[in-house]
Amino acid sequence: MGRMAVTLRHLRYLVALAETGGFGAAARAVHVTQPALSQQIAELERLLGVRLVDRLPRGSRLTRAGEAVLRRARGVLAGIADLEALAREADGLSGRILLGMIPTVAPYLLPDLLERLAAHPIELRLREAQTADLLQAVEAGALDAAVVASPVRGPLAALPLGEDRFVLAAPPGRLAALQAERLRPSAIAGEPLLLLDEGHCLADQALEVCGLRSRPPADLGASSLGTLCGLVAGGYGLTLLPEIAVPTEARAGLCLARFAAPEPARTLCLAVRDGAGRWAADLATRLTEALEARRSRARAQIAEATSQAV
């Protein structure tokens, strides 16, 4: 029986471990059990004849040898991703696509995207994470592309998808008071503004829109827009809601209003490595279609909610 060889699975698991810092989190990232991932890492160490990971009481840390192997593993995975992209180039949207999305986009845009990809022979795999992690994964070849909010810094290219405007979500009584004049972001600077936890780019964008340099003292940070909307509906403050989230998050007790022109917005884009083939442009087109369909439904709901609130 021949000697076992290092596989792409070994390398992907090592990259996941390095990015997450722990066996449990890495196993969840690659959708396997923790014992299975630990076994593959141990097998990789046996094959290479060197310890790659220090197992710590809390988490793990790569050894110097592990860091060296990690750099080469990322290079191999990036090369494989380029080969897969080259193969997809001939037929456009086909084969396996590893797509990342930020949490304030994924639950809202993904259903519309899947509807538009149904006719294509695609195996779509999704990773939901914050912007920095997604961009690093695209650059390393662990993801083919990622939907994020611009700007995209670094060596990656950004294919624009369209604007996602912000609307104000408020309890009914508070919205009536704020709309005494044309609603502008500066009008809510002194209000109890509810934001997502630190690390979410949407929280930073909301602070920038309102002209604030730090998180407000009344902030009740949450990990999802659904939680924020529940707090707002309960009368605990205001929040800025992306337009694409409206069809999902609109609920009883939550009043929505548009800002006066120019409306604050974020620009969504598809981050890819330079030289991505036709599949990337085709995917961006489908994403743009999904974004516009979502915004169209949101506009109707916002108009209806606004007319009921005044």
Express each pLDDT in 37-61 by its tens digit.
999 999 999 999 999 999 888 778 9
Rounded Cα distance, 95 and 119, in Å? 13
Contact 181, 187 (CB under 8 A): yes
CA 19 to chain CA mean position, Å: 16
Residue 266, pLDDT > 70, answer yes
Give the Cα-Cα-Cα angle 75, 136, 285 (nearest 5 degrees).
Answer: 105
Model pLDDT for residues 98-129, shown as the tens digit of each residue: 999 999 899 999 999 999 998 888 889 999 99
Encoding tokens for residue 170?
Answer: 């408020």
For the segment 273-282, what is each residue's pLDDT rounded down to a tens digit? 887 778 898 9
Lowest mean pLDDT among 30-34, 66-70, 257-261, 301-305: 301-305
Indicate if the pLDDT at residue 202 is higher than 60.
yes
CB 148 within 8 A of CB 256: no
| pLDDT, position 39 | 94
- pLDDT for 214 beyond 70: no
Lowest mean pLDDT among 194-198, 201-205, 213-217: 213-217
CA atoms within 13 A on the CB side of 178: 28
How high is the pLDDT of residue 21?
A: 87
> What is the band of 90 on the pLDDT scale with cuts at 50, 70, 90?
low
Backbone angles phi, psi at 17, to 5 degrees: -65, -40
pLDDT for res 177: 62
Length of the chain: 310
pLDDT reported for residue 102: 93
Q: Which residues pair with 196 in a beta bridge?
A: 222
Domains of the chain in start order, with CATH, are: 8-72 (1.10.10.10), 93-161+267-292 (3.40.190.10), 163-265+299-309 (3.40.190.10)
Confidence (pLDDT) at 257: 82
pLDDT number for residue 5: 87
Lowest mean pLDDT among 68-72, 149-153, 180-184, 260-264: 180-184
Dist CA 136 CA 138 (whole Å): 6
pLDDT of residue 267: 92
pLDDT of 1 reads 40
Is 133's pLDDT higher than 50? yes
Confidence of residue 220 (pLDDT cuts 50, 70, 90): low
In this prediction the pTM is 0.69
Query: What mean pLDDT comes out for the span 133-146?
Result: 91
Residue 295 backbone dihedrals phi, psi, to 5 degrees: -65, -35
